[in-house]
């Protein structure tokens, strides 16, 4: 009996039980049964035959494939001290990798080859790490990106034409975004030429890249995309057209908005007239049915907001697409006064204010964003130019408020002055903390750990003194100090 047949017979015997099938199969020569009960003999024989089969299995030959070697390195490998620090970063916190890799770039150094796989894996999950790694991965990194499908995001296709024609979708979008910064018309032309051949998901993502350098010259192409068969493409086109203040789409939305939000005169006392109060309130008037031309511009018929009916949803969608400056012109009110007027509408204010907020974000309308931040107490740093971030943060902390760590993290690098102010407010809150408020104490300890990642290097020693439990962040701060000293 062959080994395979004996193994199958024994397996059946073990499954059925030796009492029902007591006859043991003949074993191949050289494989005697072990001593013991029939059950023990069967189990031992089954294990031995299983091992025998696995060991005797022929190995498969790997396909012959000749891979070209990596190109010679251009950048010098970082110093042994820097390499040791990178290994310590790996063991401590991946969040320090961007800063460490940027320090390598300043020295025109590259990452040691042995660390590349670990960094590639980290950047596969953390997309924010990728641009930092791509600048210091060297030629070996480019070669390595071709060897693992998971690392294709790091493939560097040479030549702008090849990137657009042969690159992965994310590479092509990156190429479009870069080109929009230098030659918006050329980027749009590339997209127009390949538009009909692109998949719906790619059309949507590529179209969104036109947000960079958006201008009236993009309107004809966007108006065409507004009729695309893909809902995602139509929505992306509508959002971009709404950001063009003089577009036909924006004017259509403004015309619709004037039929939805109208003045309702009210009588004012002499005192209120002297104080400059508006002699009207906002009244909402909704259509009985959704007009067909509204549907063509992307207004959805069925509500997507819990607790808001279909007609109310039409109102919200139109308001979200109207540039907020239109309201201040149309009603001859400042952004602050109009916001307060809308808030007074007991029935619709709770729906109108979020819609105005979305419109202000979409258009990055700073006057309106200032008003919204003041009333909502929400810091919307990402919608302001980077040149204004520090001003906003310092104004926010002037009232002894700590910004959310995620907000602070989005503004990098921190200056020494900003870092000192964060530490000052942090220390003040810690000093005034109720010792029985354990949850807040825990929050502040976590906040310090996050601060340690982004504080300006000159202020790291002050962070040591900001909290008595220095040991929790000691290694992190010391590591950053060493990074700036040795890389």
Indicate yes or no: pTM above 0.85.
Answer: no
- pLDDT at residue number 450: 85
- pLDDT at residue number 233: 97
Other CB atoms within 10 A of residue 153 CB: 16
DSSP string, 46-61: HHHHHHHHHHHSPPPP
Domain assignment present for 50: yes
Domain assignment present for 31: yes
Distance in angstroms (rounded) separating the CA atoms of residues 207 and 176: 10
Torsion of CA 103, 104, 108, 110, to 10 degrees: -170
Q: Does one domain contain both 276 and 343?
A: yes
Q: Does one domain contain both 179 and 232?
A: yes
**What is the token pair recorded at 301?**
């018929």
Q: Does one domain contain both 238 and 256?
A: no
Q: Does one domain contain both 424 and 455?
A: yes
Q: What is the pLDDT of residues 214-223, one digit of tens each?
A: 999 999 999 9
- pLDDT at residue number 229: 95
- C-beta separation of 104 from 136 below 8 A: yes
- C-beta separation of 104 from 111 below 8 A: yes
Q: Does one domain contain both 415 and 464?
A: yes
Out of 98, 130, 156, pick the residue that ends a domain. 156
Q: Does one domain contain both 262 and 328?
A: yes
DSSP string, 325-387: HHHHHHHT--HHHHHHHHHT-TTTHHHHHHHHHHHHHHHT-HHHHHHHHHHH----GGGS-GG
Distance in angstroms (rounded) separating the CA atoms of residues 199 and 7: 53
Q: What is the pLDDT of residues 31-61, one digit of tens each?
A: 566 677 877 877 888 788 778 777 766 555 6
Q: Which residues pair with 284 in a beta bridge?
A: 261
Residue 454's contacts (CB-CB under 8 Å, 6 or more residues apart) are 408, 409, 412, 413, 414
User: Which of 198, 264, 204 minimizes the C-alpha distance to 231?
Assistant: 204
Distance in angstroms (rounded) separating the CA atoms of residues 119 and 100: 12
Distance in angstroms (rounded) separating the CA atoms of residues 393 and 460: 19
Q: Does one domain contain both 332 and 262?
A: yes
First vs last Cα of the chain: how many Å apart? 69
- C-beta separation of 426 from 447 below 8 A: yes
Domain assignment present for 66: no
* pLDDT tens, the chain, 487 aa long: 677 777 788 777 777 776 665 566 566 655 566 677 877 877 888 788 778 777 766 555 655 566 788 999 999 999 999 999 999 998 888 889 999 999 999 999 999 999 999 999 999 999 889 999 999 999 999 999 989 889 988 877 555 677 888 888 888 998 999 999 999 999 999 999 999 999 999 999 999 999 999 999 999 999 999 999 999 999 999 999 999 999 999 999 999 999 999 998 887 776 766 666 777 889 999 999 999 999 999 999 999 999 999 999 999 999 999 999 999 999 999 999 999 999 999 999 999 999 999 999 999 999 999 999 999 989 999 999 989 999 999 999 999 999 887 787 777 788 999 999 999 999 898 888 887 888 888 888 888 888 888 899 999 888 777 665 556 677 888 899 999 999 9
Q: Is 110 helix (H, G, I), strand (E, B) or coil?
A: strand
Domain assignment present for 73: no
- pLDDT at residue number 58: 55
- pLDDT at residue number 197: 95
- C-beta separation of 84 from 77 below 8 A: no
Out of 156, 189, 206, pick the residue that ends a domain. 156
Domain assignment present for 237: yes
Domain assignment present for 70: no
Q: Does one domain contain both 282 and 342?
A: yes
**What is the token pair recorded at 353?**
């204010």
Domain assignment present for 183: yes
Distance in angstroms (rounded) separating the CA atoms of residues 441 and 375: 28
Domain region containing 351:
249-378
- pLDDT at residue number 240: 98
Other CB atoms within 10 A of residue 298 CB: 20
Instruction: Name residue, tokens 């891979």.
Output: 67
Range list of H helices, 57-154 = 80-92, 97-106, 116-125, 130-134, 138-145
Q: Does one domain contain both 454 and 428?
A: yes
Q: Tell me how many domains the chain contains.
A: 5
Judge residue 2's burial from the number of C-beta atoms within 10 Å of its C-beta, 0-12 exposed, 13-18 middle, 19 or more buried. Answer: exposed
Q: Does one domain contain both 290 and 334?
A: yes
Domain assignment present for 184: yes
Q: What is the pLDDT of residues 114-139, one digit of tens each?
A: 999 999 999 999 988 999 999 999 99
Q: Which residues pair with 280 in a beta bridge?
A: 265
Out of 156, 182, 210, pick the residue that ends a domain. 156
- pLDDT at residue number 1: 63
Q: Does one domain contain both 290 and 349?
A: yes
Distance in angstroms (rounded) separating the CA atoms of residues 434 and 47: 65
Distance in angstroms (rounded) separating the CA atoms of residues 127 and 120: 10
Q: Does one domain contain both 362 and 282?
A: yes
């Amino acid at each position: 009996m062959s080994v395979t047949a004996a193994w199958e017979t024994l397996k059946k015997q073990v499954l059925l039980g030796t009492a029902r099938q007591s006859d043991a199969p003949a074993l191949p020569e050289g494989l005697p049964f072990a001593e013991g009960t029939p059950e023990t003999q069967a189990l031992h024989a089954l294990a031995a035959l299983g091992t025998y089969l696995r060991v005797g299995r022929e190995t498969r030959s790997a396909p012959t494939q000749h891979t070209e070697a990596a190109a010679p390195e251009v950048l010098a490998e970082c110093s042994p001290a820097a390499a040791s620090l990178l290994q310590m970063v790996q063991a401590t916190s991946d969040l320090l990798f961007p800063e460490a890799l940027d320090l390598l770039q300043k020295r025109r150094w590259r990452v040691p080859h042995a660390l590349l796989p670990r960094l590639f894996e980290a950047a596969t999950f953390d997309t924010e790490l990728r641009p930092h790694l791509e600048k210091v991965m060297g030629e070996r990194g480019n070669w390595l990106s071709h060897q693992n499908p998971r690392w294709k995001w790091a493939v560097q296709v040479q030549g702008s034409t090849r990137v657009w024609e042969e690159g992965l979708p994310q590479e092509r979008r990156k190429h479009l975004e870069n080109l929009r910064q230098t030659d918006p018309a050329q980027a749009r032309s590339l997209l127009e030429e390949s538009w009909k051949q692109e998949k719906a998901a790619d059309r949507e993502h590529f179209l969104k890249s036109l947000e960079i350098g958006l201008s009236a010259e993009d309107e004809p192409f966007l108006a065409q995309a507004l009729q695309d068969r893909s809902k995602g493409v139509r929505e992306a086109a509508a959002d971009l057209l709404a950001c063009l203040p003089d577009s036909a789409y924006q004017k259509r939305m403004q015309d619709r908005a004037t039929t939805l939000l109208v003045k309702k005169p009210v009588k004012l006392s002499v005192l209120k007239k002297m104080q400059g109060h508006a002699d009207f309130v906002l009244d909402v008037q909704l259509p009985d049915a959704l007009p067909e031309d509204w549907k063509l511009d992307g207004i959805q018929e069925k509500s997507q907001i819990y607790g808001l009916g279909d007609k109310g949803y039409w109102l919200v969608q139109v308001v979200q697409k109207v540039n907020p400056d239109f309201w201040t012109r149309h009603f001859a009110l400042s952004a602050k006064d109009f916001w307060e007027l809308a808030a007074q509408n007991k029935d619709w204010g709770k729906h109108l204010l979020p819609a105005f907020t979305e419109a202000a974000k979409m258009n990055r309308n700073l006057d309106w964003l200032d008003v919204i931040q003041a009333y909502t107490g929400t810091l919307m740093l990402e919608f302001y130019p980077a040149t204004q971030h520090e001003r906003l943060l310092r104004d926010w902390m002037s009232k002894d408020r700590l910004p959310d760590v995620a907000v602070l993290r989005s503004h990098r690098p921190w200056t020494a002055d900003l870092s000192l102010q964060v530490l000052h407010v942090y220390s003040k809150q810690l000093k005034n903390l109720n010792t029985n408020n354990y949850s807040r104490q825990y929050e502040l300890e976590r906040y310090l750990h996050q601060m340690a990642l982004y504080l300006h290097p000159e202020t790291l020693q002050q962070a040591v003194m900001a909290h008595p439990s220095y040991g929790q962040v000691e290694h992190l701060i010391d590591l950053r100090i060493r990074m700036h000293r040795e890389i």
